[in-house]
Structure 1
Amino acid sequence: MLGLGHRLAAVIETELHEQADIRAFQDAFSAANLSEPELGSLSLIAEDAVGVGLGFLHALPGTDGITGREIGYVALLAVTEAAEGMGAARQLLAAAEDWARQQGYAALSLDVFASNHRGRLFYEKNGFATEALRLVKKL
């Protein structure tokens, strides 16, 4: 799972950060979430019929920014290049939705970088809608 950090970092384009810093952030974020998962979190690995890893998802309890209620939060979702378009990401996301419902959450949220056009389209096709935008200005 940690080996997919480069794929997550590769879709992040920003004028504020160097690619090396983005990669270091992504690797550290993935390692922190996966090596010491929060109580009540969910980690899933998608494999093909012979056990080859296709991707992973990590979700955890989150907080609705308006009501303060606990909701589900997808912290990480990545698939291998070979798995793109095979439905692995959709199956992982569907499992996270099931998990969130089982926890009694009214919503499932996630963050996606604006430059991740493919990811944004994927999430929109799967029922996610933009709720907030974070704007940044380099000084």
Structure 2
Amino acid sequence: MSIKTGTVLPDFELNDQYGNTFSSTSVKGKQAVVIYFYPKNFTSECTKEACSFRDSFEDFIAQNIVVIGISSDTEESHKKFASKFNLPFILLADSKKKVRKLFGVKNDLLGLVAGRETFVFDANGILITKFKSMNAAPHIEGALHQLNELPK
């Protein structure tokens, strides 16, 4: 079962596409965060989702929102994926699926494919909404809509 609305952003550390360690404590309580879990780099729906976040990235930056993608791909795979599609945000390598488990993101499609789920945390580090759909479109639109509804 995935974490519930109202939950504080869990503490975790993973390496990004450049081999740097990212800690959730570096953003918790400081700025809003969108964390999206996706199945695999270079697959059609995952590429579409990443490119949609890229295309909306300026909207997120304008509101001081951090965007983070997490999959079980390696740092090197993330680096190639980010480079090929000009992805300006953080991609984290969760090869042991520890953070996926921490957030309670389950597999989809009879357990064969890693789940696609997005979590939106406000600037206080509180989960305000989440989206679960194998279709990428609702994740970006929903995250932006929810964050636009927050008091300024």
Question: Is the shorter-chain TM-score for this pair beyond 0.5, marking a shared fold?
Answer: no
TM-score (norm 1): 0.32
- Which structure: larger Rg? 1
Which structure dedicates a bigger proportion of its chain to helix? 1
TM-score (norm 2): 0.31
Higher RCO structure, 1 or 2 (CA under 8 Å, sep 6+): 2
